[in-house]
Amino acid sequence: MFTVFSLHVMQMEFSFGPKGWVPAEQLQEKSTDECVYALGLHAPGFFDKVLNVNKCLLQSDSANEKSGNESRATWRRTAIVEDYGVQEGRRKHHNVLEKENENMHEFSQLCKNAGGIQSWGFLRGMCNSHTGFLKHLMLRSGRNVETGLPELTVNFVTSSDNPECLRPLVEKIATIPEVVSIVNNVNTSIGYTSVGEKEYTLYGKSTIIEILRGLTFQISANSFFQTNTRQGDVLYKLIEDCAFLKGDGSEIVLDLFCGTGTIGLALAKRVKPVYGFEVVAQAVSDARQNATLNFINNATFIEGDLNKIGSAFANNLPKPDIVITDPNRPVMHIKLIKFLLRLRASRIIYVSCNPATCARDLNYLCCGVPEQNIEGRYRLSSLQPVDMFPHTPHIECVCSLELR
């Protein structure tokens, strides 16, 4: 049985592109959008094709109608096309990019002359040549704890650190009342990841606030948090139910891939201690701050890569009664599988956004890996999908395993 609610996602990620992609069936249609530059979503199966998105039906009204549209409108102004022509504009931009270190003044001035943003069509660059500046625009929605009004974080992911180029857009977007945070994540890799190696706060505060399961969570740009908070509440309630807590506050919980601590903190007031592990340093910092915000003093959060654990992992911690693991889309490392089988916690709650990798890990935990002489020790007692992303094929699964 699937649980479905109307959806306003907390976070949406859009990509910049040098030219908008148009579906084949729309090629003959007349359009006011010349598709010179693109800001939207990738076409399925293509890393270099971006479909312009003028209105995202998944976002909140504040994110969609204000900061998102303002970013699109400002960035897509056609002054650069009128002044230079499309091809000349792209050629000039490409040349400026190549000599960026030699003449940053010309680069910044070009942005200003074009109204700040419209010249950025080139900045996403040519995908195959790995040139360009702008990579992603991320919009994250929260709410003011005191007033209940929406708050927005605008996050520009760029290939280099150049705040002067971002300044015109920052000044424009900062005038929107709902925008309380504008940050810049710098990612120099050629991949499409949106997590920056460095993060700079360009305006306002570095975090926003969201409320889930009656708790207040402080969330930074790089920290994982459920994008659909209404369904997130349903998901976490289901996890609590699957834990079958005794109610006497005696159980010990190990929370793997804990992110900002949402699941562990939701259980903390009903258990003894909670120990959370997470690889993202900022998320660990947020988790600790979230514990303080909610007056929770029995939760400990530790930074560490669970895909690189050694034989002594968690030896200094008491044996948990309940393990919660919420890995990202790839499977858990076999070292972590072996650790869980040796640990023999009474119950494992496996939360997954990828049914295929979830099935592999559940098979290892229940049936073992005969070719490696690994014996399974658990029985799958329940599995409940939650529709976190309506109108898409993506689901979240909550799996409850009991020690045999």
Q: Give 61: exposed, middle or buried? Use CB within 10 Å, 0-12, 13-18, 19+.
A: exposed
Q: Give 286: exposed, middle or buried? Use CB within 10 Å, 0-12, 13-18, 19+.
A: buried
Q: Residue 350's closest CA among 247, 291, 280, 263?
A: 263
The neighbour count for residue 126, using CB atoms within 10 Å, is 16
How many angstroms separate the CA atoms of 266 and 289, rounded?
A: 14
Q: Residue 23's closest CA among 54, 44, 2, 1?
A: 44
Cα 283 versus chain centre, distance:
11
How many angstroms separate the CA atoms of 11 and 226, rounded?
A: 8
Phi-psi domain of 136 (left: phi exceeds 0; alpha: psi -120 through 50; beta: other): beta
Show the tokens assigned to 19.
């030219």
The neighbour count for residue 16, using CB atoms within 10 Å, is 25
How many angstroms separate the CA atoms of 209 and 217, rounded?
A: 6
Residue 326 labeled ligand binder: yes
- The residues near 393 (Cβ < 8 Å, ≥ 6 apart) are none
How many angstroms separate the CA atoms of 257 and 280, rounded?
A: 9
Cβ-count burial 19-42 (b if 16+ within 10 Å, e if not): bbbbeeeeeeeeeeeeebbbbbbb
Cβ-count burial 384-394 (b if 16+ within 10 Å, e if not): bebbbbeeeee
Angle at 111 between CA 106 and CA 115, to 5 degrees: 140
Is-catalytic flag, 353? yes
Residue 278 labeled ligand binder: yes
Q: Which of 353, 358, 397, 399 is catalytic?
A: 353
Please spell the DSSP secondary structure of 97-143, one letter per residue.
HHTTTT-HHHHHHHHHHTTTTGGGGGGG--TTTT--SEEEEEEEEEE
Active-site residues, by number, are 353
